[in-house]
């Protein structure tokens, strides 16, 4: 990456020291006393004039950037709006960090005075600002060889977050670093081209989590054949690349034997549709069909790197769905690990086949407290919810509620959709126990019903992230396409309910 960011926390400064200075203002263009004292009359005048010229009104996340204001020892004065105090509930420190990161795209050193007109930000909020800035800075340019001159030399932004309680902020930063690294790992995996990130390479990348203390075990075709994972193996049988199942374990709870929580990801490194071939237009996006597995890998990294007090299992099924002489056909019947037989109606409904075996494996081997699986599972979910909310399907109201709340808090939002016996029936097969496609109607729901046939009594939630994890729009904290959706959501779920 040509541009990186280094973040430290410090006490509020008493004088200017060059570089960029970021201040917060409200809808009345008020500044905190501390901010006013720092920039003095000269700064205030420059700010007022620029605000007038730019019609800057201090609205939430609005930015006013003044180049080298006369009479001040600054390269730039940047003022970010936080909106009116009456609407403080709309403020979000991670988003603010993203806005600030965006405003500092060219800066080498900057100080942010985390002091709003209606009060200073807390140490936790400061750490969230750091997280948002880091996420905003992420850019996947590994394969761009023709960089512009100013991109050739790696540059670092030294960002100082000036806060009321610097010691507390310093303590909070490493945890956010761990989360940022997890989101960035997930984004990287999703962005990698499918010729580079094939199933064995994905497994090798997951093995690197050993560095942060995650135990990693990899099952290949031989082991999965012995276990009887016929559903997963059927998907990968048309590929030259060996299918993999990767088991990641983080033991952070006090009792090493405490019942674990489990996360499961769909890892289709490329989805051509198989013999039921997808149309050509946009097919390149199907390199992102492993975003569920990427999220689980990023989450395991985050939990381990911040030493979360939880026992967590992450299991990903990693395969490539290709058409080939050896590929699976519509009409094939495979036997899943659960013993249930599955009639293949459409080889493009492959993600659920991978998950069927992994879900069964996880609940059987680990007996987890709950299982959450993530998958770019259906185009139907994108039609229903677009790119804003992931679909949530669950057999458990408490788990659903917790996921919904964690989603609202982090911005990785989820919306619950129904499961019901009438939908389940649509998955009955003429020739086998179940079929892998229920047709056009309620496509996201019937996919979830299929998965539920491989879940026993374990509390379980399925997140359909086809709309939210890939092909994503630019936001304050993401430069687009690969969002890293789900890492912050599930990290928060664990932090709020399953640690300690």
Binding interface with Mn ion (CB under 5 A): 271, 348, 350
Q: CA nearest 160: which of 18, 43, 1?
A: 18
**Interatomic CA distance for residues 264 and 271, integer angstroms:** 18
Q: Which is nearer to Mn ion, 129 or 344 (CB)?
A: 344
Question: Which listed range, 76-84, 172-180, 182-190, 262-270, lies at the site for Zn ion (CB under 5 A)?
Answer: 262-270
Residues 345-364 that bind Zn ion (CB under 5 A): 351
Element (H, E) at 321: strand 311-321
Q: Which is nearer to ligand BES, 23 or 380 (CB)?
A: 380
Please select the residue that binds Zn ion; options are 26, 27, 289, 357, rule is CB under 5 A. 289
Element (H, E) at 23: strand 20-25
Burial class (CB in 10 A: 0-12, 13-18, 19+), 6: exposed
Contact residues for ligand BES (CB under 6 A)?
A: 271, 289, 346, 348-351, 376-380, 382, 437, 443, 466
Q: Which is nearer to ligand BES, 271 or 320 (CB)?
A: 271
**Interatomic CA distance for residues 390 and 372, integer angstroms:** 13
Q: Which does 466 bind (CB under 5 to 8 A by kind): ligand BES, Zn ion, Mn ion, none?
A: ligand BES
Minimum distance between the CB of residue 37 and ligand BES, rounded to whole angstroms? 52
By CB under 5 A, the count of residues binding Zn ion is 4
**Interatomic CA distance for residues 78 and 346, integer angstroms:** 55
Catalytic residue among 287, 352, 402, 488: 352
**Cα dihedral sign, 159-160-162-163:** positive
For the question of residue 352 being annotated catalytic, the response is yes
Nearest residue to Zn ion, using CB?
A: 271
Minimum distance between the CB of residue 274 and Zn ion, rounded to whole angstroms? 10
Q: Which is nearer to ligand BES, 2 or 346 (CB)?
A: 346
Q: Which does 380 bind (CB under 5 to 8 A by kind): Zn ion, Mn ion, ligand BES, none?
A: ligand BES
Minimum distance between the CB of residue 32 and ligand BES, rounded to whole angstroms? 45
**Interatomic CA distance for residues 262 and 260, integer angstroms:** 6
Minimum distance between the CB of residue 348 and Mn ion, rounded to whole angstroms? 4
Burial class (CB in 10 A: 0-12, 13-18, 19+), 82: buried
Q: Which is nearer to ligand BES, 333 or 409 (CB)?
A: 333
Q: Which does 188 bind (CB under 5 to 8 A by kind): Zn ion, Mn ion, ligand BES, none?
A: none
Minimum distance between the CB of residue 363 and Zn ion, rounded to whole angstroms? 23
**Interatomic CA distance for residues 433 and 445, integer angstroms:** 18
| Helix%, strand%, coil% for the chain, nearest 5 | 40, 20, 40
**Interatomic CA distance for residues 73 and 93, integer angstroms:** 27
Please state whether 142 falls in left (phi above 0), alpha (psi between -120 and 50) or beta.
alpha
Q: Which is nearer to Zn ion, 27 or 357 (CB)?
A: 357
Catalytic residue among 278, 307, 369, 416: 278
For the question of residue 413 being annotated catalytic, the response is no
Q: Catalytic residue positions?
A: 278, 352
């Amino acid at each position: 990456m040509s541009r990186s960011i280094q973040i430290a926390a410090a006490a509020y400064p008493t004088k200017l020291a060059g570089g960029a200075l970021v201040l917060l203002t409200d809808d009345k263009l008020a500044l905190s006393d501390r901010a006013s004292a720092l920039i003095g009359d000269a700064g205030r005048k420059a700010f007022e004039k620029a605000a007038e010229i730019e019609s800057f009104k201090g609205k939430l996340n609005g930015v006013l950037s003044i180049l080298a204001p006369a009479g001040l020892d600054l390269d730039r004065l940047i003022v970010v709006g936080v909106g009116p105090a009456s609407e403080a509930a709309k403020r979000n420190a991670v988003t603010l960090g993203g806005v600030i990161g965006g405003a500092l795209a060219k800066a080498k050193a900057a100080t942010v005075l985390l002091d709003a007109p209606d009060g200073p930000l807390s140490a936790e909020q400061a750490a969230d600002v750091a997280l948002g800035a880091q996420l905003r800075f992420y850019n996947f340019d590994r394969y761009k060889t023709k960089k512009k001159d100013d991109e050739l030399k790696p540059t670092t932004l030294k960002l100082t977050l000036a806060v009321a309680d610097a010691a507390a902020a310093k303590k909070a930063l490493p945890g956010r670093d761990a989360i940022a690294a997890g989101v960035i790992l997930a984004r990287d995996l999703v962005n990698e081209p499918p010729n580079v990130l094939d199933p064995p390479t994905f497994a090798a990348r997951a093995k690197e989590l050993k560095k942060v203390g995650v135990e990693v075990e990899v099952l290949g075709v031989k082991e999965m054949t012995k276990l009887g994972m016929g559903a997963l193996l059927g998907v990968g049988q048309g590929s030259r690349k060996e299918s993999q199942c990767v088991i990641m374990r983080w033991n952070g709870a006090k009792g090493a034997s405490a019942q674990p929580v489990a996360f499961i990801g769909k890892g289709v490194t490329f989805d051509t549709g198989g013999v039921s071939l997808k149309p050509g237009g946009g097919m390149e996006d199907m390199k992102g069909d492993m975003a569920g597995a990427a999220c689980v890998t990023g989450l395991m990294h985050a939990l381990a790197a911040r030493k979360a007090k939880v026992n967590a299992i992450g299991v990903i099924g990693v395969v490539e769905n290709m058409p080939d002489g050896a590929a699976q056909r519509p009409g094939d019947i495979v036997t899943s690990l659960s013993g249930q037989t599955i009639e293949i109606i459409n080889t493009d409904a492959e993600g659920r086949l991978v998950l069927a075996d992994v879900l069964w494996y996880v609940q059987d081997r680990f007996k987890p407290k709950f299982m959450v699986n993530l998958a770019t599972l259906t185009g139907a979910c994108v039609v229903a919810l677009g790119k804003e909310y992931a679909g949530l399907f669950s057999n458990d109201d408490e788990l659903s509620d917790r996921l919904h709340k964690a989603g609202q808090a982090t911005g990785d939002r989820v919306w619950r959709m129904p499961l019901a016996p009438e939908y389940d029936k649509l998955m009955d097969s003429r020739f086998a126990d179940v079929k892998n496609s229920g047709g056009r109607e309620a496509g996201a729901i019937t996919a979830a019903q299929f998965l539920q046939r491989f879940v026993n009594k374990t509390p379980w939630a399925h997140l359909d992230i086809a709309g939210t994890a890939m092909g994503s729009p630019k936001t304050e904290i993401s430069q687009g396409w690969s969002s890293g959706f789900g890492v912050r959501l599930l990290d928060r779920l664990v932090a709020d309910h399953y640690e300690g």
